[in-house]
Structure 1
Amino acid sequence: MKKVIIVGCGLGGLAAGISLQSKGYHVTIFDENLHPGGKMMPVEIDGYSFDFGPNTITMPEVFQSVINDAGGDASKYFQFERLVRHTKNVFHNGKVLYQSADPMEMRKELEKFDPYGAAHYKEYLKEVGKLYKLAENGFFYRVFGSWRDYLAPQLTASFIKVRPFEKMAHFHRRFFRDEDVLKVFNRYATYIGSSPFSCPATFSLIGHLEMEEGVYYTNGGNTKIAEGFYQFFKELGGTVHLGEKVKEIVVNGKRAVGVVTGEGERLFAHDVIVNGDFITATKDLIKEKDRPSHPDRKLDSYVPSISAFVILAGLKTFQESVHHHQVYFTKDYEREFKEIFSKKQLPNDPTIYISHSAASDRSVSKGSNLFILVNAPAVKLSEEDALEYKEKIYQTLEEKGLSIRQQLEVERVFTPDTIKRKFSAYKGSLYGLASHRMTEAFLRPSNVSKDIEHLFYVGGTTHPGGGSPMVTISGRNVAAYILERDGIVEQ
C-alpha cells in the first residue's frame, strides 16, 4: 500500500485524499488549523454562525462527484439549494438590479437600466456558454506543466477561442451599455482576485455559471461541503491531523520522500501533495537549493491577488431587506481597482459585498449573520487603520439605509494580515496570484513540481485556478495523474 502525505486539509487536499484513499492508497493529511476546509471556515460567535468563505457556490456536481465517484453518496453529507434570484445589486444612486438565473426575469431587470443589454442578453449567454464549454473540455481537467502543453494541436484552437488577449471589461461592452450594469458583470473578475480592466475575457465564463447554471447554497452553511469531505475521507480509512503543522518537505535525490512535522517527527511517503498557497508553501517548506526553478527572488516577484477586509457582524434584528447576496457598488469602479493594484491602498469609496445566509436559511443563525467584504490590497494594516476603515464601512452602509451599529451584537474583523497569518496566504492574498499577466492567468504554477519528483500542488494558486470548484478539480486532477502513473484506472 503506497503512502501519500497531504499538507493542507482544504477542498483540494481532501478531494485528492478521497480519490486516492478509495483506490487503496494510505493517505495522511496534516493541517495547522483546527478545522477542515482551509478558507471554507465556519465561525461561531455567541449563537451567530458565519461561513468565512466561500459564500457563492457554483458547479455543485463537482463537489458531489468527489464522494460519488469514490463509492459514496454525496447527498448523505450535504445538499444544495438553487438560488434563482441570487444577488441584489444596489448602485450609488440607490437603484436596484436583481440578478436572476431565469433569463426572462433577467431581461426584464435589464430593460429598466439597459435596453441594449436586454436585447443582447441571449447573445451574451450564448457567448459565455461557449467560453465555459471550451474551458471545461480543454483546460479544467488537465495537468499543465509548461506552455508546450497549451500548444498541443488539440488545444491551440481552443486557447485562441477563449479570448485570452481581450480584457473582461472590453468583452462585456459588446453586450451591455449601461455603466452600472457593466459593474455587475465585471465583478466576476474579483472571483479570481483580479481587476476586470486587466484580466482576460476568458474569465467571463463565470457568467455562464451564475446566470445559467445558477448560484447555490449548501443547507446548513457552505462549510458543510468541507465537513462532508472530511467525514467521508475518515470513513474511507484516511488519517487527518488537525492543528499539526508541517515544517519541512524532505527531499532526497530530487525526490520528495516525506515530511517533518512541527513536533519534529519525520514521516515517509511515496508521494507528497501540498494543498496550500504555492508561494508560501514552496518557500517555507522546501530548501532553496532543492527548487532551482523557483528561487526566493522569483517567488517574491509574483503579483498577489486581491485580499479582503472582512467584518462578521451579528445583528440582533433580522434584516428582511438584505438579500442572500447583496452588493453596494461604488460610483467609480475602475478607480477602485487602481487604488487596490496601483496605489496598494484601501478603496476610498469601496464596493461592499454582503453575504446573508440567514436570508435563505433562518436556522443557521440567530438574528442576521452579515459577512461583509470589501476588496483590499494584500498589505499590512495597523490596528488604528483597521478600526477606522471598519467604521467607514459601517457609516457607508448606514447612509444607504442599513443600520449596523445600533443592531450590532457581535463582530469580528479579518484584515489582509489576518488572512496571511491564518491561512499562510501569500501577502494575505485570497487567490494567490492576480490573473493579469498571461503567465498567471493561463500558466499558473504547475500541479507537478518542476524540480522534485513525487511532489504535487493543489489549490487555488495552481491550475486550474481559484474558486471552490476549481480548487476541488485540482485535487481530482492530481489524484488522476498519480493513478494513471501507477497504472490504476478510475472507474
Structure 2
Amino acid sequence: MKKVAIIGGGLGGLSSAITLANKGFHVELFEKNQHFGGKLMPIQLSDYSFDFGPNTITMPSVFKRVIEQTGSRSEDYFEMIKLDNHTRNIFPDGTQFDFSSNQQVMLSQLQELDPTGAGNYHSFLKEITRLFKLSEQYFLPRTFRSWRDYVSPSLGAAMLRVRPLQTLDSFFQSYFSNPRIIEAYNRYATYIGSSPFQAPATFAMIAYLEMVEGVYYVKGGNVKIAESFASLAMKLGVGLHSESEVKRVLVSGKKATGIELQSGEKVMADYVIMNADLLKAYPELVPEKERPSFKNEKVDKLEPSISAFVVMVGINKRFPQLKHHTVYFSDDYRQEFNDIFIHKTYSDKPTIYICNSSHTDPDRSPKGDNLFILVNAPALPLDGNLQIDPVAYKELIFETLSSRGLDLTDHIVEEKIITPSDIASQFGAYRGALYGVSANRKKDAFLRPQNTSKDIKHLFFVGGSTHPGGGSPMVTISGLNVAHAIIELEQ
C-alpha cells in the first residue's frame, strides 16, 4: 500500500486525502491549526457564529463530487441552499443593483439602470458561458506537471479564445454603459485577488458562476463543507493530525521521501502533497539547494494578491437593508485599486463587503445579525509591517457605513478584527495574500505555479497559490487533480 503525507488540511488537502484513501492509499494529513479547512475556519463570538473563509460558494457540484466519488450521498453531509437574489450592490449616489441568477430579475433592473446592458444581456450571458466552458474543458482539469502541458496545441488554441489580451474592465464596458453596473461586475477581479484594470477578461467566467449557475450557502455555515470532508476522510481511514506543524520535507536523491514534524518525528511516504501557501511553505520546508527552479529571489519578484482587513461584528438587531451579501461601493473604485496595487496602501475610501449569513440562516446568530465585514487590503510589505492602526481603520469603516445609512456603533455586542498580519500567521499566507500570486500580469494569470515540483520527484502542490487558482471550488479541484495524477502514476 503506497503512503501519502499531506501538509495542510485545507479543502485541497482534504479532497486529495479522500480521493487517494478511496483508492486504497494510506494517507496521513498534518495540519498546524486546531481546525481542518484552511481559511474556511469557524469563529464563535458568544452567540454569534461566523465563517472566516469563503462566504460566497459557487460550483456546488465540485464539493458534492468529493463526497459522491466514494459512493456516499452529499446530502447526508451538507445541505446547499441556492440564493437566487444573492448580492446587493449599493453605490454612493443611492443606486442599488441586485445580482441574481434569475434572468428576468436582472433584465428588469437593467432596463431601468442600463438599457444598453439590458439589450446586450443575453449575448453577455452567452459569452461568459463560452469562457467558462473553455476553462472547464482545457484549464481546470490539468495539473501542468511538465512543459509539455504548456505547449499543447489544444491548450494554446483555447488560450487564444479566452480573451487573454483584454482586461476585465474593458470586457464589461463592451456590454454595459452605466459606470455603476460596470463597477459591480469589476468586483469579480477581487475573487482572484487582482485588479479589474489589469486582470485578463478570461476571468469574466466568474460572472457565469454567479449569474447562471448561482450562488449557494451551506446550512449551518459554509464551514460544514470542511467538516464534512474531514469526517469522510476519517471514515476512509485517513490519519488526520491537528496542531501538527511540519518542519521540513525529507528529500533524498531528488525525490520526496516524507516529512519531519516540529516535534522531530519523521513520517516516511511515497508521495508528499503540500497544501500550504507555495510562496511561503516551499522555501521554508525545502532548502534552496534542493529547488533550483524556485529560488528565494524568484518569490520576492512575484506580485502577491490582495489581502483583507476583516471585522466580525455581532449585532443586537437585524438590519433589513442587508441581504446575505451586500457591497457598499467606494465613490472612486479605480483609485481604490491604485492604492492597493500601485501605492501599496490602504484606501481611505474603501469598498465594503458585508456577509450577513443570518439573513438566510437565523440560527447562526439568534439575537441579531452576524456581520462579516471585509475591506480589500494590500499584501504586507517585505518587512512584514502592518502599515495601519487596526482600531483606527475599523473606525473609518464604521464611519463610512454610518454615512451610508448603516449605523452599527450603538448595536455592537461582539467584535473581532483580523488583519493581513493575522492571515499571514494563522494560515501561513505569504505576506498575508489571500490567493498567492495576483492575476494582474498575463504570465501569472495563465501560468500559475504548476502542481508538481520541477526539481523534486513525488512532491505535489495543491491550494489557492497553485493551479488552477484561488477560491474554494478551485482549491478543491486542485486537490482532486493531484490525487488523480498520483493514482495514474501507480497504474
Runs (5+) with no aligned partner, structure 1: none
Partner of 1:469: 473
Partner of 1:415: 419
3-state SS in 1 of match to 2:205: helix
Note the 1:78-97 alignment, pairs <5 A.
Answer: 78-97=78-97
d(CA) in 2 for partners of 1:369 and 1:483?
43
Instruction: Decide whether aligned partners of structure 1 residues 317 and 167 sit closer, same or farther in structure 2, where only a CA change above 3 A counts.
Output: same
Partner of 1:377: 378
Partner of 2:464: 460
Instruction: Tell me by how many angstroms 1:382 deviates.
Output: 5.1
Amino acid at match of 1:433: V
3-state SS in 1 of match to 2:389: helix
d(CA) in 1 for partners of 2:451 and 2:17?
15
Instruction: Output one character per residue of 1:307-349: Cα deviation in whole Å (capped at 9) or x when no partner.
Output: 0000001101122221100000011111100000010000110
Partner of 2:429: 425
Partner of 2:295: 295
d(CA) in 2 for partners of 1:233 and 1:317?
39
Partner of 2:201: 201
Task: Give yes or no for the alignment of 1:176 onto 2:176.
Answer: yes
Note the 1:23-422 alignment, pairs <5 A.
Answer: 23-145=23-145, 148-366=148-366, 367-379=368-380, 380=384, 385-422=389-426
Which of these residues, 445, 451, 454, is aligned with residue 447 of structure 1?
451
d(CA) in 2 for partners of 1:174 and 1:331?
22
3-state SS in 1 of match to 2:225: helix
Instruction: Tell me by how many angstroms 1:112 deviates.
Output: 2.1
Q: Is the 8 A contact 2:88 2:326 kept in 1?
A: yes
Instruction: Decide whether aligned partners of structure 1 residues 270 and 147 sit closer, same or farther in structure 2, where only a CA change above 3 A counts.
Output: closer
3-state SS in 2 of match to 1:434: coil
Instruction: Tell me by how many angstroms 1:138 deviates.
Output: 0.7
Q: Is the 8 A contact 1:150 1:159 kept in 2?
A: no
3-state SS in 1 of match to 2:139: helix
Q: Is the 8 A contact 1:381 1:416 kept in 2?
A: no
Partner of 1:16: 16
Kindly report the root-mean-square deviation, in angstroms, between the aligned alpha carbons of the 2 structures. Answer: 1.1
Instruction: Tell me by how many angstroms 1:147 deviates.
Output: 5.6
d(CA) in 1 for partners of 2:442 and 2:118?
32
3-state SS in 1 of match to 2:176: coil
Runs of 4+ more than 3 Å apart? 145-148, 380-384
Amino acid at match of 1:375: N
Runs (5+) with no aligned partner, structure 2: none
d(CA) in 2 for partners of 1:250 and 1:83?
46
Instruction: Tell me by how many angstroms 1:414 deviates.
Output: 0.7
Which of these residues, 432, 436, 440, is aligned with residue 436 of structure 1?
440
3-state SS in 1 of match to 2:379: coil
d(CA) in 2 for partners of 1:237 and 1:144?
29
d(CA) in 2 for partners of 1:105 and 1:322?
18
d(CA) in 2 for partners of 1:457 and 1:399?
45
d(CA) in 2 for partners of 1:394 and 1:146?
49
Q: Is the 8 A contact 2:9 2:29 kept in 1?
A: yes
d(CA) in 2 for partners of 1:229 and 1:384?
37
Instruction: Decide whether aligned partners of structure 1 residues 18 and 52 sit closer, same or farther in structure 2, where only a CA change above 3 A counts.
Output: same
Amino acid at match of 1:368: D
Instruction: Output one character per residue of 1:420-456: Cα deviation in whole Å (capped at 9) or x when no partner.
Output: 0110001000001100112211111110110000000
Amino acid at match of 2:371: L
Q: Is the 8 A contact 2:256 2:458 kept in 1?
A: yes
Instruction: Output one character per residue of 1:2-37: Cα deviation in whole Å (capped at 9) or x when no partner.
Output: 110000000000000000001110100001100010
3-state SS in 2 of match to 1:6: strand
d(CA) in 1 for partners of 2:174 and 2:203?
15
Normalised by the length of structure 1, the TM-score is: 0.98
Mean CA deviation greater in 61-70 or 435-444: 435-444
Normalised by the length of structure 2, the TM-score is: 0.98
Q: Is the 8 A contact 2:386 2:421 kept in 1?
A: no
3-state SS in 2 of match to 1:460: coil
Q: Is the 8 A contact 1:378 1:416 kept in 2?
A: yes
3-state SS in 2 of match to 1:406: helix
3-state SS in 2 of match to 1:135: helix
